[in-house]
Chains A and B, each alone.
Chain A
């Protein structure tokens, strides 16, 4: 019995229903269906008859002796328990396989191992201020190092002070005025703004020339410019500009006047968290640098420790410089919005035969045909030289005996 449009239940479902394994809603539907469907009733009756028939496979009852062994084992386990040396308990204690067969125990073991590893590595590597024992043996060398350090430190301090005024510039673009690079005085939201416009220029030549002038007029600059003028296609220009955030609206209003705006998008990205985090890490690195400098200034300790402190100091200074650069870049991105302008010329199809003449095309085709012939011949020769020897070898092995066999056959046939 199959399920079809007229019959909503198949025999397997009837079986599951009789076994009490059908989902409740479906079982209720089938129960209602069974009242009126003779076909399903017959199927159900068949299953019931089969079950009854199977019950005829009877077995005898177990003997009373079956209890003895189990009861004996239970009693011995009870006695062992009372004596405090339960077999089940011992079994559990010594059965490590059971312990590690459970995934949960593995997870706990791995977590404990990770905690121990973190503590083992983390605690000894913590450095306290002044913990480096610097008992110098060669005082002259230490003095030299100290002098070098002081010179480096003073140079670095002066460079740091310059960086604080914002004269260092990691970007390749032309540097704007110094005051533009000052971070905001209050830690309000720092927003990086971007905008893009796609414009169909009314007058392409005038519009493309105007873009740079507009950028300069609003205190910005062109970061990248890309112009295309392919034959048979409209001209297009893509410019990436950096405009001071305060001038952005005015700049965009002026750019819109260059033609018909086909597409415009603007987006803002808040980077306050990044900036605050960067500043915090900078302060921490500077404090570490200061401590290292003080430590080296105490002039006590082994030479090896001094060198190690020196290396650490160089590393920290490298980190400070890197973070300084990131901070400057972030501030610049906030102060200068990025604007992408795609300027397209309205395309007018040119009536004409094109740049290449007909005679030139025919000549080019002939040259190409000759080259194809040449390549084909060379290819065939290469193939023959590559495959030929082995082909001849196998032909010789197969054909020569075959030829002699053919000759003998012909001779016999004549006889």
Chain B
């Protein structure tokens, strides 16, 4: 128990030390430092994106455990391919690009086309009573009615907070297309979610 306490203190010290060293570094600087061999830079990136990446998968997949597995795979992919990394776009675009590919592969593996409304409705049905009363259920239902690319763009913008350029890089489409589809998605969602005055 004493050893566990010491390990915990050491972990906290290391985390504090890492924060001091890297708090001014951007994500792109951190990945390049990791590429040069600075392991703590990767740990900092992992800490920064652990929850956002998990949230990305959790909002798109049915099972929390599977979302965690894919989130881990996403970071492992970054770790294993760090020497191949090139700073053509932002690190966020790179990371979410990997995540998008993992989600697509997961859906193909599930053996059917993306029917997010089914999955989202399924999640709503399988959730507990408290979850069903959650205001988010209406958002999930409304998102399920959107066209796939519009839904993805909207979610990347609202939840992952990617810029139009980053979304365009992740989804490999022009920025103007991202903007117009985002507008259409928001207009459609607004009609469903917000009361008409």
Docked complex Cα distance between A304 and B162 (Å): 77
Q: Are A15's CB and B50's CB within 8 A? A: no
Instruction: Give the number of residues in A that approach B within 8 Å (Cβ atoms).
Output: 40
Docked complex Cα distance between A89 and B82 (Å): 10
Knowing A50-B190, A53-B193, A57-B139 are in contact, say whether A21-B163 is a contact too (CB < 8 A): yes
Of the listed stretches A58-66, A356-364, A365-373, A390-398, name the one at the interface; the rest are far from the partner chain.
A58-66
A132 within 8 A of B: no
Q: How far is the CB of B131 from chain A (nearest CB, A)?
A: 10
Q: Are A77's CB and B79's CB within 8 A? A: yes
Q: Which of B124-148 contact A (CB under 8 A)?
A: 134-136, 138-140, 143
Pick the contact of A69 from B64, B76, B139 — CB < 8 Å?
B76
Q: How far is the CB of B92 from chain A (nearest CB, A)?
A: 15
Question: Which of chain B's residues has its CB closest to A75's CB?
Answer: B39
B25 within 8 A of A: no
Q: Are B83's CB and A16's CB within 8 A? A: no
Docked complex Cα distance between A190 and B68 (Å): 82
B42 within 8 A of A: yes
Taking CB atoms, residues of chain B closer than 8 Å to A95 are 84
Taking CB atoms, residues of chain A closer than 8 Å to B164 are 16, 19, 21
Interface string of B39-63 (1 = CB under 8 A from A): 1001100100011001100110000
A49 within 8 A of B: yes
Q: Are A92's CB and B193's CB within 8 A? A: no
Q: Which of A46-105 contact B (CB under 8 A)?
A: 46-47, 49-51, 53-63, 65-67, 69-70, 73-74, 77-78, 81, 87-89, 91-92, 95, 98
A164 within 8 A of B: no
Instruction: Give the number of residues in B that approach A within 8 Å (Cβ atoms).
Output: 46
Docked complex Cα distance between A92 and B35 (Å): 12
Q: Are B80's CB and A88's CB within 8 A? A: yes
Knowing A70-B76, A78-B39, A92-B83 are in contact, say whether A54-B189 is a contact too (CB < 8 A): yes
Of the listed stretches B94-102, B105-113, B179-187, name the one at the interface; the rest are far from the partner chain.
B179-187
A12 within 8 A of B: yes
Question: Which of chain A's residues has its CB closest to B175's CB?
Answer: A21
Knowing A12-B183, A65-B68, A70-B76 are in contact, say whether A88-B82 is a contact too (CB < 8 A): yes
Taking CB atoms, residues of chain A closer than 8 Å to B143 are 57
| Inter-chain pairs besides A59-B55, A67-B46, 18 sampled, C-beta below 8 Å | A15-B179, A19-B157, A21-B179, A46-B194, A47-B190, A50-B190, A51-B158, A54-B139, A55-B158, A56-B136, A57-B59, A57-B143, A65-B68, A66-B50, A66-B54, A66-B71, A74-B43, A88-B80
Binding site for B on A (CB under 8 A): 11-12, 15-16, 19-21, 46-47, 49-51, 53-63, 65-67, 69-70, 73-74, 77-78, 81, 87-89, 91-92, 95, 98
